[in-house]
Structure formats: structure tokens, C-alpha cells
Amino acid sequence: MLAVLSPGQGSQKPGFLTPWLDLTGTEARLRWWSALAGVDLVHLGTEADADEIKDTARTQPLLVAAALLAAEHLPMYDVSLTAGHSVGELGAAALAGVVPAEAAITLAGVRGREMAAACALEPTGMAALLGGDAETVNAAIEAHGLYPANINGAGQIVAAGAIDRLEKLAADPPAGVRVRMLPVAGAFHTPYMAPAEQALGAIAAGITPADPARLLLSNLDGAAVNHGRDMLQRLVRQVTAPVRWDLCMATLADLGVTGVIELPPAGTLAGLVKRELKATGVPEIVTLNTPDDLPAARDLIARHGMPPSHEPTMQFRVVVAPSAGTFVPATSLNEGDSIKSGQVIGQVATRQGPVDVPAHCDGVLTEWLASPDDPVAPGQPLARIGGHLS
């Protein structure tokens, strides 16, 4: 299985889109998207300096545009899964078919402007806490009246909140923890961004999303999202909710992802995946930064993706938890058993009572992805169903 990842804010570099403008149609596409985003994406991706592209209102649509531009040159129909970090989720949602590229660019422009405006309301910021025990780090963040905005895995948690509280945490960090203040405009993914969430929600309400055409992971809980409306609501909510990239990487491991392509500007997510998944098996990774990297990316898709064929091929669908609770698989079912669409494969025990988990297609129960009595979150993968489709 192959995953395509779309990076978030902080990964941008001056001039990183320059080599892409040599490809036919790229500049025209960027100028069209610039009109939608309300910023000059051609200038920002080629001539702007580091300070200019650090501006949240400019950076967010630039990153989404970069990911979508590069993906246009890949055989995405062979890609099984997409995911994005923070604003990168908009690019991932477009690549999964939930929203058109134009809608993703427009939403990124609104998101960037409104988050920048929210940052200006009071002095807030973010700091990366590197190393240490996660429970101890989270306790220190809470003790200082801050929020865990990004839980990135690989020993990295980002705290966010008032500047003076961040400075106190940096002066007295938990044992074995390094604190690095981040050059950002404010406390993203915290309640400080509530005005931005409200503004983005008002615009997103006018979009009619489609259900994902491939697996699409959510930063909210690392779960695969089945319905377009649900994903659109999650994209809005994510403005104030923590980014759980650690859970997204756990899902990559659970699903047995063997190949990863990070879209430009690539490197940050690839590094996190390498460090976090080294114990369970690091997938083969291609960081796609320039058109020169396209052959390697296409080769990876050819070897790890799902190429079309006139012969019957095995397709997989993931059954996810309908609600939070404890998973209880059907005792009569084993891996390898045939199942029918609508058949109940288990239940999620909740405080309100058991909730049935139905299969949404005919096929074979290829693999349980959750064990009996496991605590599960809404949308968490529970089982993989395989079926031959011609």
C-alpha cells in the first residue's frame, strides 16, 4: 500500500516552486489559483524571501498549491491513501476527491487570512518540546496553561498559547526536554483560533463535498474518514483542535503502508515517519521536491501502488468504528471468511449501549485491524475487507 503525504506550515523554503514553473501549464495554473487564494502564488513560490512566505495568510495557500501541482504529475489513481499535516489536509482532501482543487485553494486562502487575523488579537506563539516522556511533557504543558497543538510523534510535541507562558515553560522545561521557540505568528490549533474556525466554517458550508475515492486520514484522530461531509467538518474543526500526526502515523503502520511519497516542500513528514516507524518497519520513502524527483516517485507508485489491470485485482476497503467505545468483534468471524454487504462484523460497546459495525461491501475479511476489547475512536479502522473487482 502506498500513501501520499501533504506537508504543513513551516516546511516552505524560498524559491521552492521555481523548478516546477518549467513544466507546461504550471504558471498559468498558479495564476488562476492566485485569483482564488487572493495572493500571488507565482511570486511567493519563486521570488519571495523567507520572511514573506512565513506570513500565515500567504504560506497556507502556497503549500496547498504546491502539493496539488506536484500531484498532477503522478498517477494518483494507483495511490491507496492520502494524508496531510495541518493545512496539508486540504491538499490531501482534494487528492482524495472530497473537494475540487479550486475549493481547496480557496479554503486555504480563507484559512490563512483568518488565522493570521486571529493571531493579531493577542500575543501568542508555539514552541516545540523535543525529547522526554510524553505524559510528563503534556503535564508540563497543562501546568503552564498551554495547549498541546501538535502531537507529532517521534518525541516531538508542540505547545501553544500565550507568549509569557511559553517563555516560562522554556525557562523551566521537564527533565531531558529541549524547548525550541517556533517562528510562527500565533497559537495555531488552539481555542485562540476560534474566530478563524467560525469564518472558515461559514465558507465551507457552501461546498458540496464528495466521499473520498481513496483512504483519507484525519489529523483529528488518525482515523480513515469515509464521508465527505464528515471530512469537511473535520477540516474546519482542525483550526482549533490539536494535530494528532502521531495517530496518523500509527494508522499508516496498522494498514501496512510500504511506500510513502511526500509532496513538496518535502522532508519534514518523511523525517517523522522514519523516526516513528523504525521499530515496526520504515516504508520506502520518496521526497518529491523538484520535477527531477518525479521518476522516482512514479517508480515507487508502480511498485507499491495498485496498478489498473484488465484482470481481476484485489481491492481493499476499511471498516471503521461508528462511535467511540470498546470494540467487540463478532465471535463467529475469522480472517479469511466471506462476508456480505450489511453484515454485522462486530459491535462498539458504548455507555449508551452496543453499536453495530456493518460491512459496506461484499468480500473477504482479510485482516482485523483492532483486537477484542480495544478502545476505539470514531472513524478508527477496525477491519480490512478484500474483494476481486474486474
List active site positions: 86, 189
The span from the CA of 300 to the CA of 275, in Å, is: 20
- Which residue reads 494535530 in cell numbers? 243
Task: State which amino acid sits at residue 370.
Answer: A
